[in-house]
Amino acid sequence: MSNHDSDKPVETLWAGDWLTMKRQGRWEYVSRARGIRAAVILAVVDGDVLLVDQYRAPLQRRCLELPAGLVGDQDAGETALASAARELEEETGYRAAQVESLGEFFSSPGMASEGFTLVRATGLTRVSEGGGVEDEDIRVHRVPLSGIADYVAARRAEGMAMDVKLLLLLGAGILAEKP
């Protein structure tokens, strides 16, 4: 017998500009307001992956991440691919000749309904310094894929938070047995 409350109505407990707190039966969760989604960008230039870090208020510290952005926050008709191309350029200063979807994923499905489209960006050309828009304080990192585990470990040792999506880059190395 199933007890997942899918037959119960969804109640909105609180709604802000960007987030909505909901309840369905005994379950509480957060979703993006207005149907906004996210795009996360995997961009590799000559064997180096592009990463960013920025201050994240929920964590009270800077967080190392793949470049990403909201889909539909500025234009309700924007596609995930268009958003990914725009955000990559804004955040990192690199323009992609091509972007392709690698699928939809969910980072914290027990707490949030938010999903993201993972996008691969190729044919990259540096067109600016990046850093985001307006008051965003985004720092760009170009890290050799061959040294990603050491780079992440060093940033973690400095107290930087790590976005779960970095596991995409660490995958096989995390599973390897250590002597």
Gap between the Cα atoms of 2 and 25, Å rounded: 13
- 55 burial (CB, 10 Å; 0-12 / 13-18 / 19+) is middle
Rounded to whole angstroms, how far apart are CA atoms 82 and 103?
15
Distance between alpha carbon 117 and the CA centroid of its chain, in Å?
9
Active-site residue among 65, 100, 134, 136?
134
- Residue 132 CA to residue 143 CA, distance in Å, equals 19
Task: Kindly give the pairing relationship between strand 68-71 and strand 19-24.
Answer: unpaired
Distance spanning both ends of the chain, measured CA to CA: 45
The amino acid occupying position 52 is: V
134 in active site: yes
Active site residues: 134
